[in-house]
């Protein structure tokens, strides 16, 4: 993809994710079902955190494109390194996990992840913007430009550390409120919950590996392009 076209795409994606993140964080408080929105607000939901992550990623990508356009190549190389680390370790695997896990559980029993009471609070388009569109955006990013992946061990450790932080946040909220972030968690014993978290981590790591595989198949061993 030409750099000017890529710049426009990253700019539009950045604006889109900012708009979606703004929309979900400005759902009227008085309309929120009390059993759904408890301690931590929306910042306990992986979906909302992913929107912020994607906005940051596309903002960094747009900055890298602009630096390339104005020939600030030394600065661009540094920003591209940050962009690639964000995409490989977080943006692609988290988006893929959010989309696939949400719709799998929604199809099985929506009350486990997205109670019907939310239909009157969150518009249908916003639901799909948060849970559906994130995957096509991630795949399109791989098709649009090559990304340099870190050493496998480093990438997996970073992803695992971020997953540990989120799980710790979920457990902290439960310890404070006595309520789980997702109703699904209430159906597990402590051992079952540990197994669920371990399984989820294994799945998201597999998405990391899948993203690396796609990137390698399309672009080979990616190098910085100027």
Q: What percent of the chain is helix, strand and coil (3-state, nearest 5)?
A: 80, 0, 20
Q: Are 215 and 152 in contact (CB under 8 A)?
A: no
The CA distance from 89 to 158, in Å, is 7
Is residue 180 over pLDDT 80?
yes
Instruction: Identify the CA nearest to 215 among candidates 226, 204, 225, 223.
Output: 223
pTM greater than the 0.75 cutoff? yes
Q: Which two tokens stand for residue 46?
A: 């992986």
The CA distance from 21 to 45, in Å, is 12
Alpha helices in 46-133 (DSSP H): 46-69, 73-86, 92-109, 124-131
The CA distance from 70 to 86, in Å, is 23
Is residue 13 over pLDDT 90?
yes
Is residue 32 over pLDDT 60?
no
Q: Between 101 and 34, name the one with better pLDDT.
A: 101
Is residue 2 over pLDDT 70?
yes
**What value does the mean pLDDT of the chain take?**
89
């Amino acid at each position: 993809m030409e750099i000017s076209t890529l710049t426009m795409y990253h700019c539009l994606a950045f604006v889109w994710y900012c708009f979606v993140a703004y929309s979900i964080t400005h759902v009227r408080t008085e309309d929120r079902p009390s059993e759904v929105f408890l301690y931590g607000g929306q910042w306990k939901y992986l979906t909302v955190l992913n929107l912020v992550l994607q906005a940051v990623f596309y903002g960094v990508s747009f900055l890298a494109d602009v630096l390339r356009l104005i020939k600030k190549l030394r600065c661009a190389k540094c920003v591209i390194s940050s962009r690639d680390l964000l995409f490989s370790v977080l943006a692609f695997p988290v988006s893929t996990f959010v989309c696939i896990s949400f719709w799998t559980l929604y199809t099985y029993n929506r009350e486990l992840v997205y109670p019907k009471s939310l239909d009157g609070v969150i518009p249908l388009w916003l639901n799909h913007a948060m849970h559906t569109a994130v995957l096509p955006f991630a795949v399109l990013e791989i098709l649009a430009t090559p990304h340099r992946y870190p050493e496998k061990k480093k990438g997996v450790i970073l992803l695992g550390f971020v997953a540990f932080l989120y799980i710790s946040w979920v457990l902290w909220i439960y310890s404070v409120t006595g309520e789980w972030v997702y109703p699904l968690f209430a159906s597990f014993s402590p051992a079952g919950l540990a197994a669920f978290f371990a399984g989820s981590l294994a799945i998201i790591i597999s998405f990391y590996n899948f993203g690396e595989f796609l990137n390698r198949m399309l672009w080979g061993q990616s190098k910085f392009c100027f």
